[in-house]
Amino acid sequence: MEIKRSTIEDTFDKRATVEDVFHILGNRNRIAILAALGTNHSAQSFSDLKERLRLNPNTLAFHLDTLEGAGLVVHAMAHGENRRYSKYSATPLAKSLMIKYDIGLENARR
């Protein structure tokens, strides 16, 4: 009997497999990012996440890109006074995984 790797094509832009998602979620910084995004009902700016999680900007950008590539985070550009900035939010898939696996503030870096 052949075992196929399952994919969630409707959710992931890059056809990340279920195995890929669990690998991605195995990183403490990514869990902290999802916990921070999942506890707020509105999208958060890069700066807000950086301050809240106390992460280096390059580290945060790397992990946000990874989460976005897996379909767990969405990124949008917002317009403020004479500037544009990035806003991030958790996808419905990310939120359902957070509920199912009890990922919350207790797992976020402070």
Give the sign of the dihedral formed by CA 80, CA 50, CA 89, CA 12: positive
Task: Report the candidate in 16, 27, 2, 23 with the shortest Cα–Cα distance to residue 91.
Answer: 16
pTM for the predicted model, two decimal places: 0.76
Domain spans of the chain? Answer: 18-102
Calculated CA dihedral for residues 75, 53, 21, 107, nearest 10 degrees: -140
Distance CA(33)–CA(63), nearest Å, equals 8
> Using one digit for the tens of pLDDT, what is the confidence trace for 28-85?
999 999 999 987 778 999 999 999 999 999 999 999 999 998 889 999 998 878 888 8
Q: What's 18-102's CATH class?
A: mainly alpha
